[in-house]
Structure 1
Amino acid sequence: MSRDFLKAMGWAVLGSFLFALMFCLPKLTSEAVPPVEIAFLRYFAGFLTILPFFLQRYGASQAVPELLGTAKRRLNLLHMLRAGCGVASVAFGSYAVLNIPVANAQAIAMTNGVFAVALAAVFLRERVASRDFVAGAVCLTGAIVVARPDPDAPGWISLGAAAALVQALAWGSEVVLLRFAAVNDTPQRTLTIVNGSAALGLAVFTAWAWDRLPLPDLLILLAMGPIAIFGQYCNILAYRAAETAKLVPIKYSGLVFAALLGLLFFGESPRPAAILGAAMIVGGALFLARHKPVQTAAALRP
């Protein structure tokens, strides 16, 4: 095993831990916070975190022309569309962890790979074989097992589990948009536009429905921004040092971290059915990753 691959594994594991931690933070607040407010604070703090790195690369005098130049208008629109998917992912993911165990929410969210493959087949014209359908069905069945629906109950599936599934769809959409747009842009510019446009779009809704938070809760939710930026940076370093297909299994360490964080902070012990469902999700997703190699950047250029 090469030293570069060991470094890539280390960065990927750290990135998985940071994202598991980020989605735990809303559950540490002293009171339930509206998901739209959580999403605003996450992206606002993320924008403030990435802005100095953007200014360092492009300079203060070129910042506005670089962001608003007509030459990259199409890329900007794709970044803003990705920001919308990211907002949905954070908002629904926050609602999920507030209403179901953290490990369950993380496991259901990990079905995002199924949606990414399906959307890539539609919008990026990637071929989908019958075995891909089987792997996707295994993943989604695992999500149903984790969600533990009760057909006899008035609400046969919990709203928390449904929110985690919507998060997975939004997350999968974000992955496809990232693959389509970010290959033609720098990480600094991409993250600045995504975080800035998301914060700006959410500001109107948040100002209308703002709930004043205690300072400790405010600081906890603001910490989501830097953690997310650093987690994305870890992923960038990981994928620069190793092939995507080799690192896909590593990202599922996030399930382990989510289970450990849930046990440590909230006393949430995973049920046997949840463990079985998570294993089905990971197994199906790994099969998809091994048999669906990522296209080259050149093949994805608009």
Structure 2
Amino acid sequence: MRPSHHALLPFVVALAGVGFLSLMDAFMKEAALLIGAYTATVLRAFIGTALIGPVWLARGPAMPTRAVWKLHIERGIVSAFMALTFFYSLTLLPLAEAIALSFIAPLIALYLARVLLGEVISRAAIGASVLGFAGTLVIVGGRIGQGAFDERAALGVAALFISAMLYAYNFIVIRKQAQVAGPLEIATFHSGVGGVVLLILAPFLWEPPAGEALMPLLAAGALTVAGSLSIAWAYARAEANVLVPTEYSGFVWAALFGWLFFREPVTWPTLAGTALIVTGCWLATRPARPAPIPAN
């Protein structure tokens, strides 16, 4: 079977990338609660650049062409505000609940890939996304039904909705980037451009960083690099509609890290929703069946 017919390895790498980024979310929530979402987001971007930039430069790379620069800048702008709104929502909502609500993004991205990239949406990919989204609804319904939906929660959900819309478009840009640039270059410019873009808000939102936020920020920066490299590598080797369902595994990671970091309980709706998500991911990794050979 040719590699193009089976996306198992890219799928596993993308799954690991989601895990890295989910753990990063936990560290970023801790940092954002200490020094504010804006300051934490800017520092994470520059820490990530400082970690990955020298590795990319050590390979003696050619500078990006003008067309590639446009993609780097486009994704940097989109991801900067995507990250800022998301990390702000983490200061208002529980980690697992925020991750679950953000799952609207992969669903949007699945169909954006069809409109903007011309990718064919397979029945398995559609089924996987439907199952993943159904699992998300089960989890969200269980969690929101147990708590009050106050003004802070409403603001958090609004920020997540903005972030999810940007995240959906971000998937499409990743796919384009992965065809013209390597993972190290993508990770370097992703962090660097995003940090520079956010500096325009520094006069209004910057808060002096506290010393206790340094360790979670360093961890978040390293995990951002690891996640970005993993996802860029995967998207260079498989179509977006195959890899998008891996994003639903983020809730599984968030439930684990939410319990470890913040002692968030894992409920029965969480387990039921996770079962649907895992089923959807399994469907997405199944190889496409070869077309039947017509009889003579």
CA distance in structure 2 between the partners assigned to 1:33 and 1:292 by the alignment:
48
Task: Map 1:37-186 to 2 at 5 A.
Answer: 37-58=39-60, 66-67=63-64, 72-128=65-121, 136=129, 139-148=132-141, 158-186=154-182
Q: Is the 8 A contact 2:249 2:278 kept in 1?
A: no
Task: Map 1:237-256 to 2 at 5 A.
Answer: 253-256=249-252
How many Å apart are 1:200 and its aligned residue? 0.8
* Counterpart in the other structure of 1:298: none
CA distance in structure 2 between the partners assigned to 1:146 and 1:125 by the alignment:
32
> Which ranges in structure 1 are unaligned for 5 or more consecutive residues?
294-302
CA distance in structure 1 between the partners assigned to 2:22 and 2:199 by the alignment:
25
Q: 1:115 to 1:33 in 2, by over 3 A?
A: farther
CA distance in structure 2 between the partners assigned to 1:30 and 1:89 by the alignment:
15
**Farther off after superposition, 168-177 or 47-56:** 168-177
CA distance in structure 1 between the partners assigned to 2:200 and 2:76 by the alignment:
15
Q: Is the 8 A contact 1:141 1:280 kept in 2?
A: yes
Instruction: Please report the TM-score for the alignment, with normalisation by the length of structure 2.
Output: 0.74
Q: 1:225 to 1:105 in 2, by over 3 A?
A: same
Partner amino acid, structure 2, of 1:57: R
Instruction: Please report the TM-score for the alignment, with normalisation by the length of structure 1.
Output: 0.73
How many Å apart are 1:264 and its aligned residue? 1.6
Give SS of 1:213's match. coil
* Counterpart in the other structure of 1:264: 260
- Is 1:205 the counterpart of 2:207? The answer is no
CA distance in structure 2 between the partners assigned to 1:268 and 1:24 by the alignment:
12
CA distance in structure 2 between the partners assigned to 1:25 and 1:169 by the alignment:
23
CA distance in structure 1 between the partners assigned to 2:288 and 2:83 by the alignment:
27
Partner amino acid, structure 1, of 2:193: S
Q: Is the 8 A contact 1:40 1:206 kept in 2?
A: no
Q: Is the 8 A contact 1:113 1:172 kept in 2?
A: yes
Partner amino acid, structure 1, of 2:106: G
* Counterpart in the other structure of 1:35: 37
- Is 1:233 the counterpart of 2:229? The answer is yes
Q: Is the 8 A contact 1:22 1:227 kept in 2?
A: yes
Q: Is the 8 A contact 2:72 2:186 kept in 1?
A: yes
Q: Is the 8 A contact 1:111 1:285 kept in 2?
A: no
Percent identical:
27
Q: Is the 8 A contact 1:79 1:193 kept in 2?
A: yes
Deviation per CA, 1:173-203, whole angstroms, max 9, x where unpaired? 2121111232111223222222221111111
How many Å apart are 1:87 and its aligned residue? 1.9
Give SS of 2:91's match. helix
* Counterpart in the other structure of 1:296: none
* Counterpart in the other structure of 1:19: 21
How many Å apart are 1:11 and its aligned residue? 5.2
CA RMSD, Structure 1 to Structure 2 (Å): 4.0
> Which ranges in structure 2 are unaligned for 5 or more consecutive residues?
1-6, 290-296
CA distance in structure 2 between the partners assigned to 1:222 and 1:237 by the alignment:
23
